[in-house]
Amino acid sequence: MKVSSVVAILSSCIRFKIVLVCVVCGISTPCRAQPITEHVTWDKIGSGLEQTNFKINGDSIISSSIALVRSDMQNHRIATIRASEFGWKHATVQSLCKAAGAVACINANFFDEQGKPLGLVISRGILHNKIHKGGGLLTGILFVTPKSVGVAYRDTFSTEGVVEAVQAGPRLVSKGAIVEGLKESSRSSNLSGICIDGQQRVSIFRVTSGVFGGSLHQLQNVLTQPQLGCVEALNFDGGGSSSMYISGEIQGHAGAVREESFPGTDEVPVAVGLFPLSEIPANATPHPTPL
């Protein structure tokens, strides 16, 4: 057989395999995640603060990976970080986290072409952006009261007693069950979000996409598996905005803690940070103002 014929056959086989993978784990209808087969090991990086990172679909070239930082919320609190607090229109999550003095941060709200955040933003009890009511994307609100942290459905949410809040979506998990009917993006994308488990521990997470991008359906399956056990979970702005940062200056750390950054390509107007209870974000109003 001629070399050209062999090459043609091999090329056809390769194309067939690619098409098969796209059909089975396609961008528009991604495969469900396989169960987490490896033991999820959490590394202590501070008092009540842990970190983990693992592959979502096993160790392969098409796998996405997820990095999480989890707090038991006994030594930390959640606060909104707005770029405008520091005189910026938008900034990297790393810059926002360092300026505010948080130990770990994740990007939050979606934003428009002018860089203005979309949806609800409450910071230290001050209402900066009202709830966005329309559409099927911004359906969830992460909120903080003096006594609790939760994720609420947009249409039933009340701002009464809330000191911190951001609006994003879609909601991924509600009352321990996967939220059905989510639409997948046709583009490869990194993902960001927040999870609250059955012990009221809070995790921020960032998914680094594999060959075919991050899948919301995969993420939902992973978050609800027993090793993570999310009871509530909310998706934040993904794609180029998806960013997570972990400080290298965490007090009470176990062993050597190095600075870690999972950067995106876009700067953002709002982030969510984990703060030691004794810390107040820089340039913040130290007392709540009525909404």
The residue among 215, 261, 207, 193 whose CA lies nearest residue 27 is: 215
The per-residue pLDDT for range 137-173, each reduced to its tens digit, is: 999 999 999 999 999 999 999 999 999 999 999 999 9
Contacts of 66 (CB under 8 A, 6+ apart): 53, 54, 56, 205, 206, 207, 208, 219, 222
pLDDT at 212 over 80: no
Confidence of residue 15 (pLDDT cuts 50, 70, 90): very low
CA distances from 11 to 19, 132, 233 (A): 12, 50, 43
**pLDDT value at position 120?**
98
Mean pLDDT (the chain, rounded)? 83
**pLDDT value at position 146?**
94
Mean of pLDDT values over 120-139: 95
Antiparallel, parallel or unpaired: β 191-197 and 164-168? unpaired
**CA 169 – CA 216 distance, rounded (Å):** 11
pLDDT at 36 over 80: no
**pLDDT value at position 211?**
60
**pLDDT value at position 259?**
86
The per-residue pLDDT for range 62-83, each reduced to its tens digit, is: 678 999 999 999 999 999 999 9
Range with lowest mean pLDDT among 14-28, 37-51, 63-77, 234-248: 14-28
The per-residue pLDDT for range 167-201, each reduced to its tens digit, is: 999 999 999 999 998 887 645 589 999 999 999 99
pLDDT at 224 over 90: yes
**For the chain, how big is the Rg over CA atoms in Å?**
20
**pLDDT value at position 201?**
97
Mean of pLDDT values over 240-257: 79
pTM of the model: 0.82
